[in-house]
Each structure stands twice: as C-alpha cells, then as structure tokens.
C-alpha cells in the first residue's frame, strides 16, 4: 500500500511538469551551468504554467493546491540532474513566511507576483561569521521613526542575484535577549543601501546564483516587518520543519535518479567479457545502495504524510534531513566509483550529481546541528 494518496490530478500535474522541464530546462542546462545563473525568464515561464507556489490560495493568485504538488516539483527537478533552478526554495521555504506572517497588505502586494514568477524570493539568514547559530547574527535593524535602518552582510544566499524580494533576518541591538532581538523584514531589490555582491564560486550547483548581500544604511518602512516585533526567531524555528523536509525530498529524489542511471551503465559496461552487473561484488554494492534509497523513500513518505496532517515532526525531520543527505552522498560516491574513470569526467552525468549532492548535508542547518536538535528533543 502506498503511503501517499496521489490522485489522478496529481499524476497529470507530474507529467505536465516533466514535459515542461524537458522543453524549457533540460536543453539549456549546460548553457546555464557555464553562465553560472538561470535566466529569470525561466521563472516567469514556470509561473505562467502554474508550477510556482501552487499552495497559495486563489484569492492571492494561486491554485490552493495541497502539499503533494510541492512534493512533485521537488522530486522532478533533481531528475534533470540539475540544481540551478531553486524553485522549491522560493515556493515552499521563502514564500510561506509571507503568507503565514505577513499583513493582508503585504500578502496582496507580493503573493500574486510570487505565484506568477514576476517576483523571485530569497531568505537571508547566514552571515560570514554566523551559520546555524541564528541567535548570533550581527546584521542590525535600528528603528528611526517610521523606518528601520539596516546594516550588515549576508552570505551563501541562494537566489541571491535573481531575487526581487528578500526575507531578511536582522536584530535590534537595543534588545538584550538574542532571541527576542531578531525580526524578519521584507526588502525589495533596488532599495537604496541594499547591494548584491558577487556570485560565489562553488564546487557544485554552478548555475545557482548563490551570492553575498550587503546592507549599508538601508532604509525600509517599519511596515515591511513580518509579524509582531521580536517574533523573528520564533518564525524561523516554526518554518524550519518544512524547509528541512524539502531538503530531504530533494536528497531522496536525487538518489533515485542516480542509482538507475548507474545500474544501466553497469549493464552496458563490460569487463573480462561480461557486464559489470554480472560480478557479485558489484551486484552486492548496487543492492546495498538500492536498499538505502528505498529505506529513505519509505521514511520520507511517512514524514510527508505526517506533515500534511499538521503533526509536529521536528525530531523526525531533523533525523531525515541528516540521514537522507548523508545517504545521497554515499550513493553518489558509490555510483561514481562504479563508473570508474569515466565517472570523473564532466561529460558523464554522475560527475555533476556527485558534486551537487555534497552541499545538501551543509545547508538548511548542517547535519551536525540536526543531531544536536534531535538530541535536545529526545531529552538527552
């Protein structure tokens, strides 16, 4: 019995999105990887076809669809063997902050553009000296009448160059409690004092526009704050469950893409007069990896079902985020090994998959932090 109850509408949506990717994404991957960025026109095409923020209610321009539509997009993107188009980050990690905590005015102003692809979003938490320890951020937001003046620097910001709207975490230096000092603000691209730095050169995710962001006396209205003052840290904690679940979905989907590709290669590659799949050692290695992938899928689907029911699964999602991202690295490394020397060559897809899988254990909270969270929830 399947854990997730996909309907015919879900299956039609999946097939439609696959066709979109084959037409609008796959033919241009090498070009975008070389350029180091995905054109914003692709975001608009995704929006036009209904592949962004599907869950947003109709009154704000969305479809009002269930979470499984987001799962489908997050699963199909890795099957292109391409990580540059960070649509799940926009649709299911950043935009939910606006919908959940934004004022009615903010929602009507921004959500329709987020759905249409006219507005690309990013979330800015990480700083040069602060990663997973969000309470230690240094970017300040000082109130000045009806405005807030922001100063500081953010780094490793995905969608950093393409973003039109930023959910920014900053602290009020006058508030002593580091958790109560943090607020979230909506900052539009082009606001004086907000500058986008260079794209960061990375081992993988070459076409993902990961960038540094700078704020120098950046003045925004107080009305751009999300929610009540002092609630930023709480908001971040509440949304991290879904963020880390999205990462686990991507990790399992990538592993599910890499393994069949490698099995097919091993069937066609001969050594000593027979296919690699006829060697017992290679059979065992493939079976071991296939077992891990299936375990990951079963665990993941159960968590998706629980999340859709509104359950608190912070413990399980922390476990899943670290285990699935470690798992996809093991699978990617094992599959590259089975490709032999060809696996280390750029023309073979496994090379990019191997590079792109590596960062998944780092972002959205490192896997070490996931274990810290799990230990706390377990009362250890």
**Which sequence positions are flagged as catalytic?**
243
The C-alpha torsion from 287 through 292 and 296 to 297, rounded to 10°, is 0
- Interhelix angle for 67-76 vs 232-268, to 10°? 40
Q: Which residue has the tokens 């953010």?
A: 154
3-state class (DSSP) for residue 151 = strand
Distance CA 330, CA 285 (A): 11
3-state class (DSSP) for residue 226 = strand
3-state class (DSSP) for residue 165 = strand
195 φ/ψ sector (left φ>0, alpha ψ -120 to 50, else beta)? beta
Residues near 241 by beta carbon (within 8 Å), at least 6 away in sequence: 307, 312, 313, 314, 317
Distance CA 142, CA 120 (A): 26
């Amino acid at each position: 019995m399947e854990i997730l109850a996909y309907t015919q509408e879900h299956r039609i949506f999946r097939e439609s999105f696959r066709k979109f990717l084959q037409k609008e994404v796959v033919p241009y991957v090498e070009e975008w990887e070389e350029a180091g960025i995905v054109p914003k026109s692709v975001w608009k095409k995704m929006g036009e076809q209904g592949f962004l923020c599907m869950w947003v209610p109709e009154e704000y321009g969305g479809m009002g669809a269930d979470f499984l539509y987001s799962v489908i997009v997050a699963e199909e993107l890795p099957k292109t063997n391409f990580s540059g188009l960070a649509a799940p980050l926009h649709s299911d990690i950043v935009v939910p902050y606006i919908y959940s905590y934004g004022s009615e005015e903010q929602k009507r102003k921004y959500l329709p553009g987020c759905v249409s692809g006219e507005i690309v979003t990013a979330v800015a938490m990480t700083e040069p000296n602060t990663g997973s320890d969000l309470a230690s951020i240094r970017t300040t937001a000082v109130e000045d009448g009806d405005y807030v003046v922001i100063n500081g620097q953010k780094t490793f910001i995905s969608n950093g160059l393409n973003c039109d709207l930023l959910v920014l975490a900053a602290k009020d230096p006058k508030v002593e409690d580091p958790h109560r000092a943090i607020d979230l603000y909506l900052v539009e691209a082009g606001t004086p004092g907000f500058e986008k730095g260079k794209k960061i050169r990375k081992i993988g995710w070459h076409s993902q526009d990961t960038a540094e962001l700078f704020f120098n006396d950046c003045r925004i209205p107080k009305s751009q704050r999300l929610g009540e003052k002092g609630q930023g840290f709480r908001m971040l904690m509440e949304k991290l469950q879904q963020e880390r679940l999205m990462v686990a979905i991507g990790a399992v989907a990538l592993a599910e893409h890499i393994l069949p590709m490698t099995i097919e290669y091993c069937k066609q590659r001969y050594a000593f007069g027979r296919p690699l799949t006829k060697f017992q050692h290679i059979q065992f290695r493939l079976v071991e990896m296939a077992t891990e992938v299936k375990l990951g899928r079963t665990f993941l689907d159960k968590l998706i079902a629980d999340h859709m029911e509104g359950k608190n699964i912070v413990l399980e999602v922390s476990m899943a985020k670290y285990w699935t991202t470690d798992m996809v690295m093991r699978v990617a490394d094992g599959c590259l090994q089975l490709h032999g020397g060809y696996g280390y060559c750029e023309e073979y897809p496994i090379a990019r998959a191997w590079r792109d899988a590596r960062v998944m254990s780092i972002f959205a909270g490192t896997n070490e932090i996931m274990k810290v969270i799990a230990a706390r929830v377990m009362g250890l």
